[in-house]
């Protein structure tokens, strides 16, 4: 069944899931007043950028765009890790 669904469509569903999780984290921060959601959102953003890089690579786009999205994912991950480590 999954082999019949194209990979770009599956990636779009994953993007939708990441967006819904980000909205849930923001709502949770507002309702229970949980601080430090920024590192979790940066982690989600990093994962989304990795999926963008995979989607660009599958579409055989220019490699500079793939490298740029991979670099942005790395920066988002490093920023999230820095925020997390500062709260310890």
**Domain edges within the chain:** 2-86
Q: What is the pLDDT of residues 3-32, one digit of tens each?
A: 677 888 888 888 998 888 888 887 877 777
* pTM of structure: 0.77
In order, the DSSP letters of 25-83 are HHHHHHHH-----HHHHHHHHHHHHHHHHHHHHHTT--HHHHHHHHHHHHHHHHHHHHH
């Amino acid at each position: 069944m999954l082999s019949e669904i194209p990979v770009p469509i599956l990636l779009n569903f994953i993007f939708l899931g990441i967006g819904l999780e980000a909205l849930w984290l923001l709502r949770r921060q507002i309702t229970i007043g949980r601080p430090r959601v920024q590192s979790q959102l940066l982690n989600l953003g990093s994962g989304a950028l990795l999926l963008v890089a995979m989607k660009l690579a599958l579409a055989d786009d220019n490699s500079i765009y793939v490298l740029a999205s991979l670099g942005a994912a790395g920066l988002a991950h490093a920023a999230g890790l820095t925020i997390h480590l500062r709260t310890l």
